[in-house]
């Protein structure tokens, strides 16, 4: 497999944050691409590691009424037009490009325009965030199923695509629920699970800025996590984990702290939620 080729768009996953978690294929493409169009949440150190000769375009979508926003249509046009120069283009996304990152939409747009593309998987935060916090998303004694959902859906949709009754039943049966992009909707999401019959004492954890130096972990239950997250001032990006696997973190906490001391990656604010 060759490095970046002119006329091709590479939909690349940047991983959960820490540049050390980038895949080898992604690194090779970043080092050889003509253009990199990146999201706003990609780690600054990773952006700074891109060769100075490479043209960089920030196409991030920032939340809030005053946030800058590049529309998806504008991104599609940019990718197509740049590839036709011709240039090799890396579309760099946080996590994995196909997990709530619109990689599928962009691949369809490129195919319709007749532009070659390649999808380069990345480590999704749905798994990485709980993992680095000591929470395995599956465990032989606790969870044999993993469900990943978006905690904040497209506001233009007529109704939610999430079946909270089914999600609550999956967790109650021993599954793990990983919620991405759900900080703003956390109280509503927890209320929906409880209304669907999930035990309010079910363990919950939130991992903010996973793999960054200021990573923060807050633990609680379906009934308490919203208040605890607010008290800790949890902000995006954060991943919410619901299920019995959250309790495993207590068993591996000493191991994690030892490793963090060795690597120098000791979080500045870890809230145990006890």
Distance (Å, rounded) from C-alpha 182 to C-alpha 178?
Answer: 10
Distance (Å, rounded) from C-alpha 208 to C-alpha 236?
Answer: 7
The rounded Cα 143 to chain-centroid distance in angstroms is: 21
The reply to whether 181 belongs to the active site is yes
Going from the C-alpha of 260 to that of each of 211, 265, 268, the distances in angstroms are: 11, 5, 11
> Which of left, alpha, beta for 49 (phi over 0: left; psi -120 to 50: alpha)?
alpha
| Catalytic member of 18, 34, 181, 190 | 181
Instruction: Encode burial over 169-200: b for 16+ CB neighbours within 10 A, e otherwise.
Output: ebbeeebbbbbbbbbebbeebbebbbebebee
The reply to whether 93 belongs to the active site is no
Secondary structure, 3-state, 142-202:
CECCEEEEECCCCCCCCCCCCCHHHHHHHHHCCCEEEEECCCCCHHHHHHHHHHCCCCCCC
| Catalytic member of 28, 58, 61, 165 | 61
| Catalytic member of 18, 34, 39, 96 | 39
Find the largest Cα–Cα distance for the chain: 57
Instruction: Encode burial over 225-238: b for 16+ CB neighbours within 10 A, e otherwise.
Output: bbebbeebebeebb
* Both tokens assigned to 263: 């690597």
Dihedral over Cα of 76, 82, 87, 92: its sign: negative
Catalytic residues: 39, 61, 181
């Amino acid at each position: 497999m060759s490095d970046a080729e002119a006329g091709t768009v590479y939909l690349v996953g940047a991983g959960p944050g820490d540049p050390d978690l980038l895949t080898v294929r992604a690194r090779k493409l970043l080092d050889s691409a003509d253009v990199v169009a990146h999201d706003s949440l990609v780690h600054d150190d990773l952006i700074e590691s891109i060769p100075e000769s490479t043209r960089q375009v920030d196409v991030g979508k920032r939340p809030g009424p005053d946030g800058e926003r590049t529309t998806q249509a504008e991104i599609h046009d940019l990718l197509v037009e740049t590839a036709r120069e011709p240039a090799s283009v890396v579309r760099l996304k946080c996590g994995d490009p196909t997990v709530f990152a619109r990689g599928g939409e962009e691949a369809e747009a490129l195919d319709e325009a007749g532009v070659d593309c390649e999808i380069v998987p990345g480590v999704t935060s749905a798994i990485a965030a709980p993992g680095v916090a000591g929470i395995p998303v599956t465990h032989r004694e606790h969870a044999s199923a993993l469900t990943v959902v978006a905690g904040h859906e497209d506001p233009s949709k007529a109704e939610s695509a999430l079946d909270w009754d089914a999600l609550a039943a999956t967790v109650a049966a021993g599954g793990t629920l990983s919620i991405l992009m759900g900080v703003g909707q956390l109280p509503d999401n927890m209320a929906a699970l409880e209304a669907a019959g999930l035990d309010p004492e079910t363990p919950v954890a939130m991992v903010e800025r996973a793999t960054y130096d200021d990573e923060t972990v807050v633990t609680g239950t379906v009934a308490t996590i919203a208040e605890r997250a607010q008290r800790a001032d949890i902000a995006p990006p954060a991943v919410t984990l619901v299920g019995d696997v959250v309790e495993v973190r207590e068993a591996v906490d000493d191991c994690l702290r030892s490793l963090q001391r060795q690597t120098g990656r000791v979080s500045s604010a870890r809230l145990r939620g006890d």
